[in-house]
Amino acid sequence: MIKVSIIIPHYNGRDILKECLDSLKQSTYPHVEILLVDNGSTDDSLEMVEKEHPQVQIIRNQKNLGYAGGCNVGVTHAQGEYLLILNNDTIHKPTWIEAMVEWLDTHPRTATVMPKILSYSQRDRFDYSGAAGGFLDYYGYPFARGRLFDYLETDQGQYDTPMEIFWSSGTAFMVRKKALDESGLFDETFFAHMEEIDLHWRFHLLGWSAYCIPDSVIWHHSGWTLPPDSYRKKYLNHRNNLIMLLANYSVLSLLWIAPLRFVLDCLSGGFALIKGDFKRVAALFAAYIWLLCHLPYLVKKHRKHQCMRKVSDVQIQNKMVPFPIPLKVYIFGKKTFSEIIKTKNSPL
């Protein structure tokens, strides 16, 4: 019986994929299938899979559909009750799947769970991509337990209790198929970056929750697909974050949120200009130009998300941080998640 479908979107990277699949072989949970969704790889990674991991089902896309499109194709082929979305540049604690399955089995209104994500290169540090659970401030800026922007905490067991979070990292999270049936799949316009946060915001609109389960542990090669300083990465992060914000807030909320967010982005652009980070300035400008050129798409996405709403913005904001996280970090010098939650008015 297949209970968990592991979906791995993939584009090149034979060695990291081999290490990931070798690690999955050591996982002790038995009721799984592994679906490798290939986005048109040009190396010999698929030949390696066919030879060394014949149990893995390969789904071949004719072109690169990105993370979002690749995951969506995998979902349509999956048989499991729970779907485990997984990056190909991860390795895993052998018992990591059991802890997440147990949580979903016993918490029927939880849509997703994620493991604790540590750095592959520095095994005692949290990973940039999700750490020990993702959060959001009112203005759409994401952060995580164990990672505030570029500051990564050492894992000293400080986040070793399950906690409700706002978003599970796209690096690795297990989602209930029933919740996906309600919310719809990843928005393929995003291509990569922020699509999992957009998906989780829809879950919150529908009254679902998300949790980090730290008994489940993986290690991640952060930045393998796109380097942190890549213009494309900066652009996709800015653009997709703004799309997400505009789609998921109600019109009334946007009347005060959107102007403040624009001011914050102008400040961010100004600081980037002073530091000589011209890639970020260009990415921010290009993101706003894209929005202006795609207003029909934005209106359609907003209507779609608001039509599924079962929970008010006020209720959802109880799971968010009221004060802008960039100001807390760069102006007030906060470095850890614990410093943030001591001063916020959220019941997290």
253 lies in the same domain as 218: yes
Q: Which of 53, 68, 88 is the last residue of a domain?
A: 88
- Is residue 36 in a domain? yes
What's the order of all strands across the beta sheet hosting 151-152? Answer: 134-136, 142-144, 147-148, 151-152
Confidence of residue 321 (pLDDT cuts 50, 70, 90): very high
Three-state SS at 72: helix
| Per-residue confidence (pLDDT) for residue 273, from 0 to 100 | 95
Q: Average pLDDT over the chain, rounded to whole?
A: 94
Confidence of residue 333 (pLDDT cuts 50, 70, 90): confident
- Is residue 184 in a domain? no
| Per-residue confidence (pLDDT) for residue 150, from 0 to 100 | 84
List the Cα angle 340/259/250 in 5-degree steps: 85
Task: Tell me which residue of 243, 238, 241, 256 sits closest to 299, measured CA to CA.
Answer: 243
Confidence of residue 338 (pLDDT cuts 50, 70, 90): confident
236 lies in the same domain as 120: yes
- Is residue 243 in a domain? yes
Dist. CA 175–CA 4, nearest whole Å? 10
Dist. CA 7–CA 24, nearest whole Å? 12
Q: Which of 61, 88, 115 is the last residue of a domain?
A: 88
75 lies in the same domain as 103: no
Number of domains in the chain: 2
Decide: 88 and 203 in contact? Cβ < 8 Å: no
**Residue pLDDT, tens place only, 164-213:** 999 999 999 999 999 999 999 999 999 999 999 999 999 999 999 999 99
Q: Is the pLDDT reported for residue 343 higher than 60?
A: no
160 lies in the same domain as 201: yes
289, burial (CB in 10 Å: exposed 0-12, middle 13-18, buried 19+): exposed
Sequence-ordered list of residues with C-beta below 8 angstroms from that of 151, at least 6 positions apart, any chain:
329, 335, 336
Choose between 268 and 330: higher pLDDT: 268
**Residue pLDDT, tens place only, 55-88:** 999 999 999 999 999 999 999 999 999 999 999 9
110 lies in the same domain as 198: yes
Sequence-ordered list of residues with C-beta below 8 angstroms from that of 253, at least 6 positions apart, any chain:
313
Dist. CA 304–CA 325, nearest whole Å? 28
Decide: 34 and 88 in contact? Cβ < 8 Å: no
To 10 degrees, the CA torsion angle through 145, 332, 239, 260? 120
Q: What is the CATH number of the domain that holds 25?
A: 3.90.550.10
Sequence-ordered list of residues with C-beta below 8 angstroms from that of 199, at least 6 positions apart, any chain:
183, 185, 186, 187
| Per-residue confidence (pLDDT) for residue 345, from 0 to 100 | 41
Q: Which of 88, 115, 138 is the last residue of a domain?
A: 88
Structure tokens at 260: 């403040």
- Is residue 47 in a domain? yes
Task: Tell me which residue of 90, 101, 106 sits closest to 4, measured CA to CA.
Answer: 101
Decide: 172 and 90 in contact? Cβ < 8 Å: yes
- Is residue 43 in a domain? yes
Determine the average pLDDT of the residues in 21-42. 97
- Is residue 248 in a domain? yes
- Is residue 180 in a domain? no
Q: Is the pLDDT reported for residue 332 higher than 90?
A: no
| Per-residue confidence (pLDDT) for residue 342, from 0 to 100 | 60
**Residue pLDDT, tens place only, 204-217:** 999 999 999 999 99
150 lies in the same domain as 65: no
Determine the average pLDDT of the residues in 253-278. 96
| Per-residue confidence (pLDDT) for residue 335, from 0 to 100 | 83
| % of the chain beyond a pLDDT of 70 | 96
Decide: 322 and 346 in contact? Cβ < 8 Å: yes
277 lies in the same domain as 311: yes
113 lies in the same domain as 6: no
Residue 263: how many other CB atoms lie within 10 Å: 12
Structure tokens at 345: 């008015």
Boundaries of domain holding 22: 1-88
220 lies in the same domain as 125: yes
pTM for this model (two decimals): 0.94
- Is residue 182 in a domain? no
259 lies in the same domain as 337: yes
3 lies in the same domain as 143: no
| Per-residue confidence (pLDDT) for residue 112, from 0 to 100 | 98
261 lies in the same domain as 206: yes
107-111, 145-149, 171-175: which range is least confident on average?
Answer: 145-149
The per-residue b/e assignment along 50-83, b for 16 or more CB within 10 angstroms, e otherwise, is eeebeebeebebeebbbbbbbbbbbbeebebbbb
Structure tokens at 131: 């750490």
| Per-residue confidence (pLDDT) for residue 340, from 0 to 100 | 81
